[in-house]
Amino acid sequence: MKKIAVITSGGDAPGMNAGIRAVVRTAIFHNMEVVGIRRGYDGFIDGDFIPMDTNSVSDIIQRGGTLLKTSRSERFRTKEGMLEARRKANEAEIEGIVLIGGDGTFKGADEFSEVSGIPSMGIPGTIDNDLFGTDFTIGYDTALNTVIEAVDKIRDTATSHHRLFFVEVMGRDAGFIALNGGIGSGAEDILIPEIRTSIDDVVSRIDAGRKRNKSSFIIIVAEGDIPGGAFEIAKQVKEKYNYFETRVTVIGHMQRGGSPTCFDRILASRLGVAATEGLIAGRKNEMAGLINNQIAFTPFSKTCKQLVDPNNEALLQMARMLGS
């Protein structure tokens, strides 16, 4: 193998740049050429490639976003899109690809490999932490730190005004950011889609807290908990219990940005090296992940989709005990 490509695809995540850097420098160390595919799969179809060398990844390990840009490509889901990408890859003499993204990215890569015969390896880049085959995805730790920083600030105003806050966090249909962001910020309650909580339960915990002289509350709501998210939960709670003045904050895309934490930089570096060296050694269509602090390879077809295990309510109960 003489030439590989690196691509970021799907939602960006802090640490993707550290991953790009690891892929490029590992490939160069092994005497290979590297091209960057810009704008995710859309850029792949358009042949939007740039040659990369050691200098092109200088000064990026600390930056959020992705130097290569990204997209959620509809065109790559079509046969025509894949065939066009294959044509562009063959023209550029790309013999292997390292992908940084989530389950949609890996699903696309599996299909592309069948269409093109070009092998690829992946590393998990998403703030949602929702992939099988790794204990942590790149960007998740940074997003958690963004959540706790935001909630700490909301806590100041909640306490000053004796208010009840519902804070919505990202995660799509997974509750990892809500659960662990809630524990880390000392939230009074956490609502996640995998372990449903009735509005009556939420209300009774708020009321019990008030009777213990609690004067403010933070309830973290995973965006996928119910349709309408935190606004809908707040409305339903208010219909049953209107003691506290209530506010809703949606942290939103702030969770996707910012300088990656040290944890995410190290994770992206280790996985970027493992995926690239795996590709060189002949592995294909697998994601390099970290399980029990060891590198583990999982076929793309098995990476989708990890949710908080509903049989394990212990963490949620612990959070509620500590937040009571």
Residue 128 falls in the annotated catalytic set: yes
Structure tokens at 165: 């806050």
Q: Whole-number minimum distance, CB 170 to ligand F6P, in Å? A: 3
Nearer to ligand F6P, 128 or 225 (CB): 128
Q: Is 124 in the site for ligand F6P (CB under 6 A)?
A: no
Segment 52 to 81, residues that bind ligand F6P, using CB under 6 A:
none
Q: Of the ranges 54-62, 78-86, 124-132, 297-305, which one interacts with ligand F6P (CB under 6 A)?
A: 124-132
Sign of the torsion angle spanned by Cα atoms 144, 148, 154, 158: positive
CA distance 167 to 248: 6
Structure tokens at 288: 């390099």
Q: Is 11 in the site for ligand F6P (CB under 6 A)?
A: yes
Q: Is 127 in the site for ligand F6P (CB under 6 A)?
A: yes
Select which of 103, 128, 130, 141 is catalytic: 128
Q: Is 278 in the site for ligand F6P (CB under 6 A)?
A: no
Q: Is 98 in the site for ligand F6P (CB under 6 A)?
A: no
Structure tokens at 139: 């960007």
Closest CA to 130 of 101, 110, 150: 101
Q: Please identify which residue in 33, 42, 103, 128 interacts with ligand F6P, judged by CB under 6 A.
A: 128
Q: Is 126 in the site for ligand F6P (CB under 6 A)?
A: yes
Q: Whole-number minimum distance, CB 128 to ligand F6P, in Å? A: 5
DSSP assignment letter at 55:
G
Q: Of the ranges 86-94, 166-174, 187-195, 229-237, which one interacts with ligand F6P (CB under 6 A)?
A: 166-174
Q: Whole-number minimum distance, CB 172 to ligand F6P, in Å? A: 4
Contact 3, 98 (CB under 8 A): no
Helical segments of 62-198, H only: 79-91, 103-116, 140-161, 176-185
Closest CA to 107 of 83, 155, 72, 142: 72
Q: Of the ranges 22-30, 153-161, 170-178, 275-283, which one interacts with ligand F6P (CB under 6 A)?
A: 170-178
From residue 288, alpha-carbon distances to 20, 278, 299 in Å are: 14, 8, 9
CA distance 188 to 177: 15
Residue whose beta carbon is closest to ligand F6P: 170
Q: Whole-number minimum distance, CB 173 to ligand F6P, in Å? A: 8
Segment 102 to 121, residues that bind ligand F6P, using CB under 6 A:
none
For 225, half-sphere exposure in the C-beta direction (CA atoms, 13 angstrom radius) is: 30
Q: Please identify which residue in 57, 170, 222, 274 interacts with ligand F6P, judged by CB under 6 A.
A: 170
Query: Which residue shows structure tokens 């105003």?
Result: 157
Please state at what angle helix 262-280 crosses helix 140-161, rounded to 10 degrees.
160
Q: Whole-number minimum distance, CB 127 to ligand F6P, in Å? A: 5
Q: Of the ranges 53-61, 76-84, 168-176, 263-271, which one interacts with ligand F6P (CB under 6 A)?
A: 168-176
By rule CB under 6 A, what count of residues binds ligand F6P?
9
Contact 85, 99 (CB under 8 A): no
CA distance 207 to 293: 42
Contact 41, 9 (CB under 8 A): yes
Q: Of the ranges 84-92, 123-131, 206-214, 278-286, which one interacts with ligand F6P (CB under 6 A)?
A: 123-131
Q: Please identify which residue in 21, 39, 155, 172 interacts with ligand F6P, judged by CB under 6 A.
A: 172
Q: Which residues are catalytic?
A: 128
Interacting residue ranges for ligand F6P, rule: CB under 6 A: 11, 126-128, 170-172, 223, 256
